[in-house]
Amino acid sequence: MERLAKMEEREYSAFIRVLFGLSSPSSVPLDDAEVGEIEWVDPMLNDSQKEAVRFALASSEIALIHGPPGTGKTHTLIELILQLLKRNLRILVCGPSNISVDNIVERLAPHKVPLIRLGHPARLLPSVLNHSLDVLTRTSEAGAIVKDVRAEMEAKQASIRKTRNGRERRAIYADLKVLRKEYRERERRCVSSLVAGSKVVLATLHGAGGFQLRGEKFDVVIIDEASQALEAQCWVPLLAANKAVCAGDHLQLPPTIKSLNMKSKNASASKKGNDAAASTATATGSVAAATIKGATLETTLFDRLLKLHGPSIKRMLTTQYRMHEKIMRFPSDELYEGKLIAADAVKARLLKDLPYEVETADDTTEPLVFIDTQGGDFPEKNEDEQDTGGGGGSKKLTKSSLYGDSKSNEMEAALVRQHVRSLVDAGVKPEDIAVVTPYNAQLAVLAPLKEAFPGIELGSVDGFQGREKEAVIVSLVRSNADGEVGFLGEKRRLNVAMTRPKRSLTVIGDSETVKKGSKFLKGWMEFLEENADLRYPDLASLAQEA
């Protein structure tokens, strides 16, 4: 990064100029002769996946692969890596987290690819340890020599403890000094040899800046989950190549920002008379949009490049293999330009079709259920409040409380418990059920579900990104007379919530409150009212759950 900062504009490569927006990407002809006829490793790839791979191969500087939920983004990247290897190119594969990188290692390993995974062994999945630099260093031929030097050092250390003669001790210390130097040099050469000999190197974005890759060059950098990574992190591997392929979904949640710009924070606090600003917030959640102007930490490389160069640098995967068609319909129409198609294998599958015995009942034959709590009997609470008053009213919430305080809704939690019990009674296993909510205070209220139904998963919407379950129950929480919805109004957060399930999505919330939040929320509520199995709570039976 220091090298980049010291560069003058005339020293920038064509790749860097494109990343900075100083020049446009080279055009990609539809019949690129360099790509030619592709012999697919997996001929079962769908047309949009093949087009994404073909486009990434043909691009000279940058290619974006837009992978909506369940569209096989990682599967597509594996094919791309294998095709690049066929062309004898060297590849650096990165992601913002260890799990994102390990996922690719697991899928590449069966193809017997010469790969190496950088990173501390304690942070890696057990299944990828054999590909880690640490293990390969110990098991390689060069590593055996390093091991011998290490053994000799340990023998010298032991002899010091047995020797009382000062002259002999000094001689041993002198030998140890030489051995330590030799050990470090041999280990460095061993690591350099292993890394230099690997056609595919995988690391986290941060890990790509380690000493092991210092001076290493690659033909292509692939960044998975690029829309969940800070742009500054992405620049660490980008400087090691002259071409990049970024894969992600900019319509899901961006990276979590844990520190706000101090100027904005102080101004906000003084204006509201509140010195305790929230210390943790997602880039689009607790940070008020009005305080963020222009590019900030919330603007990812994926977002910026798409805005800079337009859709010509992007290819979208359009066949999804996760959701029932009815669950997919709203996010597809409202966020993905109606382009998503449900694969035949998933478009009509229901809970009653699970590969174990499940009763045929209303809850197991309906893919989309909306339990509407409108009417004022399900009031929300602030985390530090005992009550907000009945009748759907709530005390006037300040903007600070909306962004700084978590919310809960005990009556809505009782509805969740009732629905979970109904699913389990019908035969659905608790481990196939997840309950997600935008608010941590609501998670605390729902916590007893784990004891009542061992195996069930509870999580925040933000924490559940990238996950999936057979049945998902979404507790929206917000119910107040003012129509305040806080960060529930963020499209990307809602997109994550509504695209986690495979066979069943149950939404529980107050349509009157939620409709007032935004045009998007109003459209979602109207879609659910028209297309979901619409239900209203039975307060008498619910009293037994509360």
Q: Residue 33 belongs to a domain with what CATH number?
A: 3.40.50.300
Number of domains in the chain: 4
Examine the domain organization and report whether 443 and 502 are in the same domain: yes
Spans in the chain with pLDDT lower than 70: 1-4, 30-34, 140-162, 164, 182-183, 185-187, 259-295, 383-404, 543-546
Examine the domain organization and report whether 91 and 224 are in the same domain: yes
- pLDDT for position 271: 39
Q: What's the pLDDT tens digit per position in 226-271? A: 999 999 999 999 999 999 999 999 999 999 887 655 444 444 443 3
Residue 132 lies in a domain: no
Examine the domain organization and report whether 170 and 203 are in the same domain: no
**Beta carbons within 10 angstroms of residue 1's beta carbon:** 10
- Give the integer Cα–Cα distance in Å for 221 and 59: 13
Examine the domain organization and report whether 172 and 268 are in the same domain: no
- pLDDT for position 316: 99
3-state secondary structure of 391: coil
Examine the domain organization and report whether 97 and 238 are in the same domain: yes
Residue 96 lies in a domain: yes
Q: Are 80 and 222 in contact (CB under 8 A)?
A: yes
Q: Are 212 and 191 in contact (CB under 8 A)?
A: yes
Residue 311 lies in a domain: no
- pLDDT for position 275: 35
Residue 398 lies in a domain: yes
- Give the integer Cα–Cα distance in Å for 29 and 73: 23
Nearest to 405 by CA among 392, 394, 419, 414: 394
Domain residues for the domain of 278 are 257-290
- pLDDT for position 386: 45
Residue 309 lies in a domain: no
- Give the integer Cα–Cα distance in Å for 379 and 377: 6
Distances (CA, A) of 381 to 385, 390, 406: 6, 11, 9
Q: Are 461 and 435 in contact (CB under 8 A)?
A: no
Examine the domain organization and report whether 498 and 447 are in the same domain: yes
Residue 135 lies in a domain: no
Examine the domain organization and report whether 441 and 458 are in the same domain: yes
Torsion sign, CA atoms 312, 316, 318, 324? negative
Examine the domain organization and report whether 332 and 473 are in the same domain: yes
Residue 154 lies in a domain: yes
Distances (CA, A) of 359 to 294, 363, 368, 413, 422: 53, 9, 17, 25, 11
Residue 122 lies in a domain: no
Specify the residue for token string 């490049």.
Answer: 305
Amino acid at 442: Q
Examine the domain organization and report whether 224 and 271 are in the same domain: no
Q: How many helices (H) and strands (E) does the chain have?
A: 21, 19
Examine the domain organization and report whether 459 and 408 are in the same domain: yes
Examine the domain organization and report whether 326 and 213 are in the same domain: no
- Give the integer Cα–Cα distance in Å for 433 and 443: 15
- pLDDT for position 227: 96
Cα dihedral 284, 285, 288, 289, rounded to 10, equals 20
Examine the domain organization and report whether 88 and 157 are in the same domain: no
- Give the integer Cα–Cα distance in Å for 496 and 256: 14
- pLDDT for position 33: 65
**Beta carbons within 10 angstroms of residue 432's beta carbon:** 22
Q: Are 406 and 383 in contact (CB under 8 A)?
A: yes
- pLDDT for position 293: 44
Distances (CA, A) of 117 to 132, 136, 137, 238: 5, 10, 12, 18
